[in-house]
A and B are shown apart, each in its own frame.
Chain A
Amino acid sequence: MATQVLPGGALRGDAPGGINPVGIMPGFVTRDGVTVLEAEPLARNPEPSRRYYFYMMAPAIITLAAISLYPFFWLIWMSLHDVDIMAGDKWVGLKNFERLFTRDAKFSNGWLLLIQYSAMCLFFEVLLGVLIAVLLNRSRWEKVLVTVFLMPMMMAPAIAGLVWYYLYNGTFGWYHWFMQSVGLLGETSILGSPSTAMIGLVLVDIWQWTPLIVLITLAGLKRVPRDQLEANMVDGAGEIRNFFQVVLPNLYPFLLIGILLRFMDNFRFIDSVLILTGGGPADATNILPVYLFDVSFQYFKLGRGAAIALTLLVVTIILGMFLVKIFDSPAARNVGRTEG
């Protein structure tokens, strides 16, 4: 075998008599027992082309830009104009916004109602969802019941709205009859009175979307590490303490994801609200997206609508940033992994 000049130790052939001749190549030094090199290469080879990745991404990105980025800039443009289909568009500067923030009671009211609506939905959905998931987890009926619980989610919200509209009806709705019979309601249907209409909407949302929280929680429960539970039990914790000390902390990222998703969906979808109340009675359920719908597509004040849409978009994007942060956070990824 040929003798070779090497960094580190250097001239290395069959060392005679067990003795190493040493000669370090220029540039290399041995420090604390390790041979290191802190030089830079003389010249780098040109980077290879990664163009095919670009070509693969381009169609989707261009399409998306065309149907979402371009409309977004259009939206900003519209919000600064008085958009009129017949008379043409007129530059009005920030007037649309000024009007929203100073003179439009329905705008601020819409935000308030939207927050109220979402908060009520979320509170009950999370409470019920976690409770049901915990009761279902590892029970005999888990598989069957979860399958049944999927059904409301598969229903178009508009259809769900129509079915509940029928059930709530003051003259022939079975739910109305039930609530009347147990003394919760009088003659007026739940959607007919400003004081109860919001509750009617919340009930529909709870009906349709609690199952999602159940599913998310169940997925989370499956990832609660057994060893943590067992260690806690050996340490003397009962079931209730186990739930609060071990299960809940492990569930936290899952619940946060569920809450944010539902929160944003309440901003996104108003199908059932449009059908059930359309914002009424007396604006009691006129949550912001519904108001936006009316302004834009009932009165066709598209400029003002664009201004409202922008405020709604900004808030959703901020919520979205939180959501993406959670998706990316190590907490969400490490769920179910044991310490150590």
Chain B
Amino acid sequence: MASKDVVEYASPARRIANVAVVVFLAVYLLWTILPIFVMFVSSLKDLLEAFRIPAVGDWSGIALFFDFEPTFKHYTNLFVNLNFGVYFFNSVAAALGSAVVSVTLGATCAYALSRTEFRGKKDLFFWIISTRMAPVVAVMVPLYAIFRSLELVGSLWGLILAYTTFNLPFAIWILKGFFDNVPFAIEEAQMVDGATRMQAFRSILPLVAPGIGAFLVLCVLFAWNDFLFASIIGSGGAKTLPVATKELVQPQNIQWGSIMAAGVVTTLPMMFLGLLIRRYLVTGLTMGAVRE
């Protein structure tokens, strides 16, 4: 057996390079987590503490950042006074609703697409994928006009449908790749063993279940993180967390503590879900083009 790593030979230049690499990665790590860290810490700060900042050039003043009494009052404020319970529910309902619709419809469609050949399949496929790639604002212009006449603007149903415009093509596209990887011979064996066509289809579902679950989560993530659709199609009756958070920014009175707390409330569940489906993340984020 060959060793896993390509051999490296030690030299002074190499040692200096190694140090440089460590420093570079450390700086990049800091740059990546700092905004998130600031968000967490600021959500625990009182109003005045959040605004404190040292004089320009006073490097020792960085200590000021850590000089505060942690308080959870912004979190309680969000849920007690600012109705965030409702917005949280809206976010969950819209994201989960569209994810379930997309994955259910998408899985059966993807399966059929994966198992059959017909003329125009390529064109159908391109149409499906291009719907997913369309700029959200551009899609929203006609959708808004149509939904307004159907009185879907400001309703959760409208939002679910709006999210389905990008989640359904995503689900079809990704899940087709998934079904393509399940050998058809397994279903054929089932049919020879005595299964009907539908029983054979159901028999391979356990094989793709983890993937389907992961992409359901990914659909939730895409919908949850949306701001544009929610701010226009969902405006009023179906306010979701990102929109509600943005609305805390008011010209005369920006409630930074609450904004940061709302940011944490919005972000934390998604980070957790992201870690949960870590294995499928790259595949999902690259539309299935790249597998880890």
Residues of A within 8 A of B (CB): 50, 52-54, 56-57, 59-61, 63-64, 67-72, 74-75, 78, 83, 85, 128, 132, 135-136, 138, 141, 145, 147-160, 162-167, 171-174, 177, 180-181, 207, 211-212, 215-216, 218-220, 222, 226, 229-230, 233, 254, 257-258, 261, 264, 267-271, 274-275, 289, 292-293, 296-297, 302, 305-306, 308-310, 312-313, 316-317, 319-321, 323-324, 326-327, 332
**Interface SS majority for chain B:** helix
Q: How many A-B Cβ pairs are below 8 Å?
A: 287
User: CA A275 – CA B245 in complex, angstroms?
Assistant: 11
B6 touches which one: A220, A233, A268 (CB < 8 A)?
A233
Flag if B285 contacts A153 (CB, 8 Å). Answer: yes
User: Which positions 147-201 of chain B face chain A at CB distance < 8 Å?
Assistant: 148, 161-162, 164-165, 168-169, 172, 197-198
User: CA A74 – CA B147 in complex, angstroms?
Assistant: 12
Residues of B within 8 A of A (CB): 2, 4-6, 21, 24-25, 28-29, 31-33, 35-36, 38-39, 42, 50-54, 56-59, 65, 101, 105-106, 108-109, 111-113, 115-116, 124-131, 133-146, 148, 161-162, 164-165, 168-169, 172, 197-198, 221, 224-228, 232, 241-243, 245-246, 249, 256, 259-260, 262-263, 266-267, 270-271, 273-275, 278, 281-282, 285-292
Q: Which residues of A contact B274 (CB under 8 A)?
A: 150-151, 153-154
Flag if B32 contacts A152 (CB, 8 Å). Answer: yes
Report the nearest A residue to B42, measured CB to CB. A166
User: CA A306 – CA B142 in complex, angstroms?
Assistant: 7
Flag if B133 contacts A268 (CB, 8 Å). Answer: yes
Q: Which residues of B contact A269 (CB under 8 A)?
A: 136, 228
Q: A59-B109, A159-B263 are in contact. Are A135 and B21 (CB under 8 A)?
A: yes
- Looking at the assembled complex, report how far the CB atom of A79 sits from the nearest CB atom of chain B, in whole angstroms: 9
Top 8 closest A-B pairs, CB basis?
Answer: A60-B109, A309-B138, A158-B227, A156-B225, A56-B112, A71-B142, A60-B105, A271-B227
Instruction: Supply 11 further A-B pairs (C-beta < 8 A) apart from A162-B246, A309-B137.
Output: A64-B131, A162-B249, A174-B38, A212-B286, A215-B282, A218-B292, A219-B282, A292-B138, A297-B232, A324-B129, A327-B287
Q: Which residues of B contact A313 (CB under 8 A)?
A: 134-135, 138
User: CA A220 – CA B289 in complex, angstroms?
Assistant: 11
